[in-house]
Amino acid sequence: MQVTLADIMAAARAIGGVADGTPLVPSPFISARAGVEFLLKLENMQPIGAFKLRGALNAVAGAVDAAGVTCCSTGNHGRGVAHAAAARGMRAVICMSELVPKAKVDGIRALGAEVRITGRSQDAAQAEARRLPEEEGLYEISPFDDPLVIAGQGTIGLEILARRPDVETLLVPLSGGGLAAGVACAAKAIKPDIRVVGISMDRGAAMYESLRAGHPVEVEEVPSLADSLGGGIGMENRLSFPMCRALLDDLLLVSEEEIYRAMQVLYYEDRIVAEGACVVGLAAVLAGKIAVTGPTATIITGRNLDMEVFTRVVTGRDVTLGDKTVKGAPYAA
C-alpha cells in the first residue's frame, strides 16, 4: 500500500492552519434514532465548503518543483485546487468544457485560478489537463487517485480519532474513493478494530460496482441528489481502488428517497445545509440499513449544492432527476 499513517501525519502538517480543525458535533436526533452517540464531522465548514481542500493543499505542497498545478473539475475538487494553489502562491489552471455554466466558471476564477476552456465535452477538457504536465510543466492533481490527495483526505480520520478515540464506526460517503481510502488508512492504523463503511447512492455507484466485480468497471452516470458521488473511478485506477478493497469493512447503497429524507432530517433537526452526498451515512442509519454499536461518526463532506433543488427538498416538493422523480413530502419527525 502506497499511503501510510506517516504520510497522513505529514499531510496534517501541510494543511495546518488552512483546512484543518473542522468541528465534530453530536446530532441528538440521529443519536436517539440510532441508539448510539452519532457524531458529524463538519467539512461543510471548510473555506471552499468541502473537504477536498485537504487533499488539494497536500498535493500543492508536494508539487513544489512543478510550475503549477492543473485539474479538470468544475466541482469541489476544482474549487479545492484553485483555493489551495492561491493559498500557497502557486499557479493553477482548471480545465473545463464550453458547456460549463458561467456561474461555475466565475466561481473557480474568483478563487484565483486560471480557467482554460477547451472543446464541448468533459473528455476534451480532461485531455487538455492531461497535456499540460508535459507542455507547461504543471502537476495534474487527480480528485481521488493520487497518494498526496488520499493522505490529505485521511487527515479527517486523524482528527476524528484524536477528538474521540472511542469512535467504533465510521460511515464514509464513497465516490472515487480518495476520501474513504485516506480516512480508513488513518483510522485503522490508529485503531485496527474500527469499522469503516463506504456508502454510495444506488444509481451509478462506480466504486461499489468495481469492488463487487474485483476490478474497475464503468457505470452509466445518472443524475442524483448525491451528485458529488457521481462519476467513474478510472479504468487505470492505481490507488484508491486497491485501498478501498483492502480497508473498507462494508459497502452500502441508499436510494434517492432515503437521501431526500436524510437531507430534510439534517436540515430540520441539526439546522445544517449540506449536499445530498453528505447524508448517505445518515440515510443508511435512518433507513435501518445498518446496525451500529458504539459511538459512530459520519463526514458531512460539503455544502456546494444547487439551492433550487435544496429548496424543493426542504419544502417537501417532488424533485426530478432525469427520468426519475423523487416523490416529495413535507418534513415530519
Ligand X SMILES: *Cc1c(COP(=O)(O)O)cnc(C)c1O
Asked whether position 3 contacts ligand X by CB under 6 A, the answer is no
**Which C-beta is closer to ligand X: that of 36 or that of 259?**
259
Of positions 145, 256, 270, 275, contacts ligand X by CB under 6 A: 275
Residue 323 phi, psi (nearest 5): -90, 10
- Smallest gap from residue 305 Cβ to ligand X (A): 9
Of positions 175, 224, 264, 298, contacts ligand X by CB under 6 A: 175
Asked whether position 178 contacts ligand X by CB under 6 A, the answer is yes
Asked whether position 179 contacts ligand X by CB under 6 A, the answer is yes
Binding range to ligand X, per CB under 6 A, among 131-139, 178-186, 282-290, 315-323 = 178-186
**Which C-beta is closer to ligand X: that of 180 or that of 196?**
180
Binding range to ligand X, per CB under 6 A, among 86-94, 173-181, 254-262, 319-327 = 173-181
**Which C-beta is closer to ligand X: that of 62 or that of 143?**
143
Q: How many residues does the chain have?
A: 333
Sign, CA torsion 261/287/216/61 = positive
Binding-site size, ligand X (CB under 6 A): 19
Of positions 141, 302, 310, 319, contacts ligand X by CB under 6 A: 302
Q: Which residue, among 277, 319, 272, has the nearest Cα to 52 in the 3D structure?
A: 277
Of positions 277, 309, 313, 326, contacts ligand X by CB under 6 A: 277
Site for ligand X in 112-151 (CB under 6 A): 143-144
Residue 40: how many CB atoms within 10 A of its CB?
24
173 CB-near residues (< 8 Å, 6+ apart): 179, 180, 198, 199, 200, 226, 228, 229, 277, 278, 280, 281, 298, 299, 301
Cα(189)–Cα(17) distance, rounded to whole angstroms?
24
Asked whether position 266 contacts ligand X by CB under 6 A, the answer is no
Site string for ligand X, 192-231 (x = CB under 6 A): ------------------------------------xx--
Q: Nearest-5° angle of CA 131, CA 134, CA 135?
A: 75
Q: Which residue, among 299, 294, 273, has the nearest Cα to 41 in the 3D structure?
A: 299
Site for ligand X in 230-249 (CB under 6 A): none
Instruction: Give SS3 for 237.
Output: coil
- 65-67-72-74 Cα dihedral, nearest 10 degrees: 110
Asked whether position 52 contacts ligand X by CB under 6 A, the answer is yes
**Which C-beta is closer to ligand X: that of 138 or that of 174?**
174
- Smallest gap from residue 32 Cβ to ligand X (A): 25
- Smallest gap from residue 137 Cβ to ligand X (A): 26
Q: Where are the beta strands (DSSP E) in 137-187?
A: 138-140, 169-173
**Which C-beta is closer to ligand X: that of 62 or that of 176?**
176
Q: Nearest-5° angle of CA 23, CA 63, CA 52?
A: 30
Cα(220)–Cα(84) distance, rounded to whole angstroms?
31
Report the interface residues with ligand X, using CB under 6 A. 50, 52, 76, 143-144, 173-180, 228-229, 275, 277, 301-302
